[in-house]
Amino acid sequence: MGATQIRLEQEGDWWVATDLATGVASQGRSREAALEMLDDALAGHDGEGRPPTDAELRELGIDPESNVSGEEPADFME
């Protein structure tokens, strides 16, 4: 595996970490937090992530029973 280049910039109170090869970016209140979030984002980008659990969806205010991925609403493009 080749070298990875990451750009790390401070924007106001936030740090933004961007993987230059993929364009995937994340942010955090500290450099360390931004890099940790970037690791998670890259894992999802590379297919290493996992779908959220029903409990995780509920914590975000999403009803797992009505959450359907990959389907457009019935009135889409009408």
Residue 76 lies in a domain: no
**pTM listed for this prediction:** 0.58
Q: Is residue 33 part of a domain?
A: yes
Tens digits of residue pLDDT in 39-70? 988 887 776 667 778 898 888 888 888 876 64
Q: How many domains does the chain have?
A: 1
Residue 24, domain member (yes or no): yes
- 69 occurs within a structural domain: no
Q: Does any domain span residue 53? A: yes
| Residue type, position 60, single letter | L
Q: Residue 29 is encoded by which pair of tokens?
A: 């209140």
Distances (CA, A) of 32 to 21, 29, 43, 47, 64: 20, 8, 17, 23, 32
Asked whether residue 48 is assigned to any structural domain, the reply reads: yes
pLDDT digits (tens, 9 = 90+) for 17-28: 999 999 999 999
